[in-house]
């Protein structure tokens, strides 16, 4: 399931970098992608779409090649100490995507060409925390795997951090083009996690993404390459016969040889995301009833609707018990 953009927009400054020129040459050589150079200091415009739904689909097929100019990396708890901004957004079209809030009506895929500068800034953060190790999350606002064939950013990051004993790197993905990870000198300092869910939820809500079986097979490959691996079960949606469905999912995960970790993330949404989801998917069956949720103020000041505490406690207790029975020895890093 390779991502081939219909159109690629380049900031003029991006072509001053070898990576930017390499991306342009690859897109030109492969064909099928219209290339536009943006005028200085302008935003991306001109994406077609007579309705919000059509515009959204076209945006998800657009690539914007940029220079990263923001070097203040936000906290990324509980996943890592900091975000590492290698890319933004994702070609997948998951109805529940938490990035609906961040990117709104501009969900096009972004990549950054000044990866060396991004990694240099990460080193500065790490030096400030010595002698402690510092961890960075490469998928906080994106899925970086679909664009790796153009950018090479993940491969460079894995090599870079493999040589630095005070830094750890981790990223998550739904996608399965993981062969680039083979033979990289990662030194066990990069953890690759796969975002998974029940087959029913993948079919119903995760458009343009690989199947569960494909993701599990990709996880086996990454394990064979020698990387630490993990799984994010996200979002956990407590509807219908959810316990039975997630029990089946845990049984499928059991086909992967430990050790690996689990991160459990319950379904939540902001008011702006709710409006955007209903606009884009007017027939959605996502549970978006605000009255059935608890309003919680987020760490960046945004309010979100989460499950009531009694339901969260049920989720924690149920998964802890099932994981102990079906995946003995597997660590749940957190449940939120």
Give the pLDDT confidence score for residue 168 in this predicted structure.
Answer: 98
The confidence band for 60, taking pLDDT boundaries of 50, 70 and 90, is very high
Q: For 96-110, what is the mean pLDDT? A: 93
- Residue 283 CB partners (closer than 8 Å, separation 6+): none
The whole-model pTM stands at: 0.95
Give the pLDDT confidence score for residue 42 in this predicted structure.
Answer: 81
Q: For 40-52, what is the mean pLDDT? A: 79
Give the pLDDT confidence score for residue 40 in this predicted structure.
Answer: 87
Residue 300 pLDDT exceeds 80: no
Q: What angle do CA 70, 73, 77 make, to 5 degrees?
A: 155
126-181: pLDDT as tens digits: 999 999 999 999 999 999 999 999 999 999 999 999 999 999 999 999 999 999 99
Q: How far is CA 306 from CA 14, 235, 238, 336, in A?
A: 40, 11, 11, 9
CA separation for the pair 212, 252 (Å, rounded): 9
Mean pLDDT of the chain: 96
Q: Parallel, antiparallel, or unpaired: how do β-strands 109-112 and 134-137 relate?
A: unpaired
Lowest average pLDDT, out of 13-27, 59-73, 156-170, 296-310, goes to: 296-310
β-bridge mates for residue 190, sequence order: 169
Q: What share of the chain is helix, strand, coil (3-state, %, to 5)?
A: 35, 25, 40
The confidence band for 62, taking pLDDT boundaries of 50, 70 and 90, is very high
Give the pLDDT confidence score for residue 144 in this predicted structure.
Answer: 98
CA separation for the pair 40, 127 (Å, rounded): 35
């Amino acid at each position: 399931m390779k991502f081939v953009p219909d159109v690629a927009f380049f900031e003029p400054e991006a072509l001053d970098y070898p990576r930017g020129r390499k991306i342009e040459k690859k897109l030109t050589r492969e064909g099928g992608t219209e290339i536009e150079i943006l005028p200085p200091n302008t935003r991306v415009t001109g994406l077609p779409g007579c309705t919000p739904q059509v515009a959204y689909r076209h945006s998800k097929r657009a690539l914007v090649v940029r220079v990263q100019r923001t070097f203040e990396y936000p906290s990324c708890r509980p996943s890592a100490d900091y975000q590492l901004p290698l890319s933004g957004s994702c070609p997948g079209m998951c109805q529940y995507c938490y990035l609906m809030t961040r990117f709104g009506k501009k969900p096009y895929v972004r990549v950054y060409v000044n990866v060396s500068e991004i990694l240099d800034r990460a080193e500065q953060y790490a030096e400030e925390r010595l002698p402690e190790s510092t961890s960075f999350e490469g998928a906080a606002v994106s899925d970086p795997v679909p664009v790796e064939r153009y950018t090479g950013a993940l491969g460079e990051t894995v090599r870079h951090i493999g040589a630095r004993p005070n830094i750890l790197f981790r990223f998550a993905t739904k996608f399965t083009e993981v062969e680039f990870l083979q033979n990289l000198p990662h030194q066990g300092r990069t953890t690759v996690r796969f975002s998974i869910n029940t087959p029913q939820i993948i079919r119903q809500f995760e458009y343009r993404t690989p199947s569960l079986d494909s993701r599990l097979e990709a996880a086996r490959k990454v394990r064979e390459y020698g990387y630490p691996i993990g799984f994010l079960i996200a979002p956990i949606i407590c509807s219908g016969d959810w316990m039975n469905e997630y029990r089946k999912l845990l049984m499928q995960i059991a086909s992967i040889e430990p050790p690996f970790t689990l991160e459990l993330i319950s379904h939540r949404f902001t008011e702006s995301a709710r409006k955007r989801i209903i606009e884009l998917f007017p027939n959605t069956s996502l549970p978006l009833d605000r009255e059935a949720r608890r309003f919680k103020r987020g760490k960046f000041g945004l309010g979100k609707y989460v499950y009531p505490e009694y339901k969260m406690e049920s989720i924690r207790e149920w998964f802890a018990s099932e994981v102990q029975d079906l995946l003995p020895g597997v660590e749940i890093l957190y449940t939120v």
